[in-house]
Structures are given as structure tokens and as C-alpha cells.
Amino acid sequence: MGLRPDEISSIIKEQIKRYDEVVETKDIGKVMTIGDGVSLIHGLDNAMLGELLEFPHEVYGMVMNLEEDYVGAVLLGQSDEIKEGDEVKRTGKIIEVPVGDEMLGRVVNPLGQAIDGQGPILTNKTRPIERVAPGVMTRKSVSVPLQTGITSIDAIIPIGRGQRELIIGDRQTGKTAIAIDTILNQKGQDIYCVYVAIGQKNSTVAQIVEKLRQGGAMDYTTIVSASASELAPVQYIAPYAGSAIAEEWLDKGKDVLIVYDDLSKHAVAYRTVSLLLKRPPGREAYPGDVFYLHSRLLERACRLNDEMGGGSITALPIIETQAGDISAYIPTNVISITDGQIFLQQDLFNAGFRPAIDTGLSVSRVGSAAQIKAMKQVSGSLKLELAQFAEMQAFAQFGSDLDNATKAVLDHGQKVREVLKQAQYSPRSVETQVITLFALKHGFTKQIPVNKINLFMDELLEEIAENHDDYIQEIKEAKAISPELEAKLKETIGTFAERFVKTAEKEG
């Protein structure tokens, strides 16, 4: 049967009429296997790494493996109702979270959805959770201090805005306490805070929220919570979501503090996901790219130069060790990425020295560049004095006859340790820290018994606050101790110390 010319011409005319119509194509795949929060999908040839996929029953997933015949995706919701053969659609989007000032004071999950019972978050701004860290040429050296309110940190292991300082130690040694105290101390400092809870109990997160609310810190804080009951993929994306929320303020020129509590559980969640996706295990069963997991996260913390707005993100990652083993895989990885570590020791904690910071193993690679001049003037020799005390204390256990010089070192070291003890949720202003360390440095505590040293310091600060408030104001404004102020402080503290000793002797 031959084709008639009029039929051919009518077909061509019809095609010409429809020439402007847009042909829409959709990538739709089919579930090959599903289980343990992981799915293999056939047919999504154009899927991107990290892309959001839409499963039936309003469940979303994220692409993590791109194989030749299929893609591997992790599910960010319950997979009970999804079965083999179900259709999966591409969204064309990388996972994003809501950002902006509307996030302040809220508790959200890693997808940015409110979980604090205060209604939805009214922001239409979003950011992808993954972002390439700012380049070297856009950064500026760290020089502005971030005051933690903890004397032993601000004096010996200072943290600067834009720094990454690791908090590391065994379970129940006060790691989270240091991070929460630091957030509480940012009140009135014009710093936004983000606290990311990874694998914590819901009750623990609720207690932290309540403590921050009591301290007025929720006004400038966002909490991202991926609790222990959440799926491993949700815990895996949590710190990246927190970082994206912080970067919105960074790009506006603001200073941000972000706490990752803790990255040990984050690495375990990633290991779980990777093994389920059949990635080959390596050392301690972690996949080979586990270093990249944390390096690409922590590199996003920085201080930008003035052309880029001058904002900063200061990161305090937390790592939990087993029996003080800092040579394990994940601790050594994160130590090599960060700009120093605060090492908490179980023995010090059990001995009642809290915060239980081992000043010998702790270090800040930014150092005194992140201190005001007044703090440099009074804290320069502290680390050496504590090291000498620790050495002498070990030596003194074996000998009963000690010369006067050794006794003086031991006595001074004990007093320094007492001054560095600090109750939880009671951060100190940098001015009060400077005055207490000034009294120590210039020997005004020699006549004070060790058991009365904290009482002496408390009463001294009361005396100065009531009668010499101008000293505190001068340190606050000048950020240094001038020769004139030094003379005044010596006279005031000397007179007070004499009076305190006489009163103590009368009371027996």
C-alpha cells in the first residue's frame, strides 16, 4: 500500500503546528531493593550525587552511590510502606535547609523542620547543606578572641573567632558542659550560635534547651537535633545542615559559633550508611573517605577578609575517646584537621578538678593572637607553672624532705589549680579573669591558705566591683593593663590581702 501525498503533507503540517510545544521529560526510576534505610534504584541515569529523591508516601531519600546500572540512596524517613517496584522521582535539587534570623530560638531537625512545638518556621530562604569551603585568598588570620568564660581556656588555650578547636575526652568528663558554657558566655557579644546534637538522647537535648533558655541564650541560638532514635542518614546530614544555617549569617558579615556534639557518633552514622551501601570497609570498618567526611565540614569554619564581609564561623567539634585513647582513627583525623584541642581527662574529673582540662596535652595553634593584651600580660607563665607543679607533685610523692623552693612551687601550683576550678553554667567575664590572674601572678596569694583561695578571690572581686569599678571599665575599654592601673591594682589587692589574712587568723 503506497503513501498518498496529501496524507504526508497533512502529517507534516500537523507536526509544524506542534513544533513550539515543550516536550517534558521526567526521570522516574524503580526500587530494586529496600531495607535498613537504604534503597537501590534502577533507571535514574541522570541522578546527581547528594540529590533529593521522592519516594511514595511522602518519603524522601538522598543519592549517595552512583553505580553503572543503579543508584544507591539513603532514606530520610520510615521505609515501612515502600516496596520493590515502587516509582522514585528525581527532584533536581540538592538537599536544602531553611536559613535566616527566623531560625533563632528554634529547635529543628536536620531537614530544617521545627520540632519544638512552636509552629512552622516562616522563612522562604534555603541553602544547600553541602558547600565548598571559602578559598585561602578570601580568608583572614584569626586575631579576635572568642571568650568562653572559662578561665583555664581563655588564659591558656585561647580560642579566636574563625578557629576550629576540638574538645576531646572520655564519656562523662564535661565536654558538652564546656560548649554550653561557651554559648551562655556569648550573651551581649553579638555572636550567633548553632548547637548540633548528633545521636544524643531527646531528654538530654531538652535539658540543654532549657538551660540555654534560662540563661537567655536561646535568643541568639539555633539547635539542630538528630537524636539517637533517628535513622543513620538523618544523623549523617545533621552537621552539614547546621553549617548551612551558620553560613547564612557568615555571608552577612556576622560572627557565628557552631558546636558539633559529637563527631564520633557522626562518623559511626556514616560508617553504618556506607556499609549498607556496600562500600568497602577499611581501618576500624570505616570507609576510606571518612577523613573527607569531617575535613569538608570543618574547613567551612573560617574568618573571611573585609572584602568578603569580615564574618566568621568558629567551630567546636566534640570527639569522644575510649579510655583516653587519642590515637584512635577518628580522634587523630579530627586532631589533624583542627587548630588545636582541649583535652579532658577522666582522672582530673574524678579528683574534683573541673573543668577537667589537661593543660599539658591541650593546645591552641592560634595561641596568644586570640587574646586581649591584658590577658597576655597576666597569663604568659601559667602553662609553665602548671607543668612545673605536675612534675614536682609526681616527684614529691617519693620524698618527704622538700626544700623551700620546691614547697613554694607546689604551693603556688595548688593555688593556680584552685583558681582555675570553675562551676558549670557560671562563665566569668574576661575582666574578672584578668584581675584574679593578676593577683596570682604578683604573689598576693602567698599568705593565703590553699583552702581559702577561692573565698579570697570571690571577696576580692566583690571589693573591686563595689569600690573600684573604674578598674574593670579600664580593662574593658583599653583591653590592656597600663602602668598606672598596674600600680593601683597592686595597692588595692595588697591592702585587701593583708586585711583578709588578719581576718582569717582571727577566725582561726
- In 86-244 the beta strands, taken as DSSP E runs, fall at 87-94, 96-98, 107-108, 126-128, 166-169, 191-198, 221-226
What is the grid cell recorded at 391?
Answer: 612534675
Nearest residue to 375 via CA among 418, 427, 436, 421: 436
Is 300 catalytic? The answer is: no
3-class secondary structure, 117: coil
Element at 440 (helix H, strand E): helix 430-441
Whole-number Cα distances in Å, 258 to 131, 179, 298, 393: 16, 9, 10, 38
Distance between CA atoms of 75 and 411, rounded to whole angstroms?
60
Q: Is 312 left (phi over 0), alpha (psi -120 to 50) or beta?
A: beta
3-class secondary structure, 93: strand
- On whether the CB atoms of residues 410 and 392 are closer than 8 A, the answer is yes
- Which residue, chain included where needed, has cell 522516574? 28
Distance between CA atoms of 258 and 215, rounded to whole angstroms?
18
List 365, 417, 428, 499, catalytic entry: 365
- On whether the CB atoms of residues 442 and 478 are closer than 8 A, the answer is no
Would you call 15 exposed, middle or buried from its count of C-beta atoms within 10 A (0-12, 13-18, 19+)? exposed
Distance between CA atoms of 13 and 6, rounded to whole angstroms?
10
Residue 349 φ/ψ, nearest 5 degrees:
-60, -45
Check residue 304 and report its DSSP letter: B
What lies within 8 Å, CB to CB, of 66 at 6+ separation is 47, 49, 72
Distance between CA atoms of 50 and 65, rounded to whole angstroms?
9
What is the grid cell recorded at 71?
Answer: 543508584
Which residues are the active-site residues? Answer: 365
